Amino acid sequence: MDKNLAIFRILDANLDRVREGLRVVEEWCRLGLENSEWADTCKQMRQEIAHWHTSELRMARDTPNDPGIELSHPQEEKRETINQLLQANLCRVQEGLRVLEEYGKLYDPKMGSSCKKIRYQVYTLESELLQNNRYQKLKQSPLYLVTSATENLLTIVESALQGGLTLVQYREKKIDDIIRLDIAKKLCELCHQYDALFIVNDRVDIALAVDADGVHLGQQDIPIALARRILGPNKIIGRSTTNPQEMEKAIAEKADYIGVGPVYATPTKPDKKAAGLDYVKYAVETSPIPWFAIGGIDETNVTEVKASGATQVALVRAIMEADDPKITTQELLKKLNLQ
């Protein structure tokens, strides 16, 4: 085959790939998120790419004799969540742009430069979209399960996920790191299978290693700014608070969410005095960021907590020690009028 013709075919195929992938992302930004700024960004990039898609390159197309049209992979045939769909298409766009950048240097150096610029724009868009999706899911999660040590941890968490749980924090203080890391990896994969967020308690290193959605920090843990530097700008960072002063500090440090409690005395935090419902009411009036009432909350008192103004609650024993975590999760969601 003529080398120039082969290059034209490569350019044509990847121009198509990039334009198609951008259109998929653009439609979600426009109609799914109703974000005109991101939709316009996609549109502008598509139009820039279309500028390079000349009739000369289109004429080189030979679809019937393309040996790659039958190639596929099972992972390409199914998308479980919007996040997976967006991630797949953004990766497709980035890969296509890299091909265009390199082969474009042989065709027209300006094309290579243009595609390089657009590729970095796509990286930025990807970061903003993923952070937005995580943050929206955080705000829309009424129940937050904080795990406790148990032999059948994965079974309990999966049962709760089947009941509608969308936010899980892995909390474990007393096992070896190699075991903790393995469990965190399995929990992260399980949560993402059910399109739920996965947060690691305290350990920024483990959150980074398993690609968790974020980390939850106590008052004695590292500063939020340092955790942000380690994890990057797209991960969720939460902070426990027990009084208005700690809340004010966490907000000033730009936490993505805070824990408010303990509302009731709890064996999970035996050294912490109950903050009571007054602190919940204070959060209702004061906190500009998402917050979760936590501490001793279960099916018997969640209605009382809700009546005090809480719309999101975190709990441990109510689900971890339930006879049927799936049914318990469903009942808790019903009490919050969200299922």
Residue-level pLDDT at 127: 86
- In this prediction, residue 133 carries a pLDDT of 85
- Examine the residue annotation and report whether 171 is marked as an active-site residue of this protein: yes
Nearest to 104 by CA among 116, 91, 120, 92: 116
Q: How many whole angstroms separate alpha carbon 314 and alpha carbon 327?
A: 17
The CA distances from residue 79 to 26, 56, 57, 70, 194, in Å, are: 17, 35, 32, 19, 12
Q: Is 240 one of the annotated active-site residues of the chain?
A: yes
State the amino acid at position 201 in one-letter form.
Answer: N
Whether 130 contacts 209, CB under 8 Å: no
pLDDT tens digits, one per residue of 135-187: 999 999 999 999 999 989 999 999 999 999 999 999 998 899 999 999 999 99
Q: In whole angstroms, what separates CA 138 from the centre of its chain?
A: 9
Dump pLDDT digits (tens) for 15-59. Answer: 999 999 999 999 999 998 899 999 999 999 999 999 999 999 999
CA within 13 Å, CB half, 157: 31
Greatest alpha-carbon pair distance for the chain in Å reads: 78
Exposure on the CB side of residue 331, measured as CA atoms within 13 A? 14
Beta strands in the chain (DSSP E): 143-146, 167-170, 197-201, 214-217, 236-241, 257-260, 291-294, 313-315
Read off φ and ψ for residue 62, nearest 5 degrees: -140, 70
Residues 6+ apart with CB under 8 A from 135: 236, 256
Separation of alpha carbons 56 and 109, rounded Å: 17
Residue 316 has what pLDDT? Answer: 96
Number of Cα atoms under 13 Å in the Cβ half of residue 61:
14
Q: Which of 334, 322, 13 is nearest to 152 (CA)?
A: 322
Side-chain-side CA neighbours of 9 within 13 Å: the count stands at 15
The confidence score (pLDDT) of residue 75 equals: 53
Q: Which three-class secondary structure state does DSSP give residue 65? A: helix
- Domain architecture of the chain: domains with CATH: 3-136 (1.20.1260), 141-335 (3.20.20.70)
Structure tokens at 238: 């939460």
Residue 158: which of 198, 131, 127, 123 has the closest Cα?
Answer: 198
Whether 141 sits among the annotated catalytic residues: the reply is no
The residue annotated as part of the active site, out of 171, 203, 228, 306, is 171
pLDDT score recorded for residue 62: 78
DSSP-assigned letter for residue 169? E
Predicted local distance difference test score (pLDDT) of residue 339: 46
Written as tens digits, the pLDDT of the chain (339 aa) is 466 899 999 999 999 999 999 999 999 999 988 999 999 999 999 999 999 999 999 998 877 766 665 555 555 556 667 878 998 999 999 999 999 999 999 999 999 999 999 999 999 999 888 888 899 999 999 999 999 999 899 999 999 999 999 999 999 988 999 999 999 999 999 999 999 999 999 999 999 999 999 999 999 999 999 999 999 988 999 999 999 999 999 999 999 999 999 999 877 676 677 888 999 999 999 999 999 999 999 999 999 999 999 999 999 999 999 999 999 999 999 998 754
Instruction: Copy the structure tokens of residue 316.
Output: 């441990």
Q: What is the pLDDT of residue 69?
A: 57
- The catalytic residue among 114, 159, 240, 287 is 240
Of 269, 287, 306, 326, the active-site residue reads 269
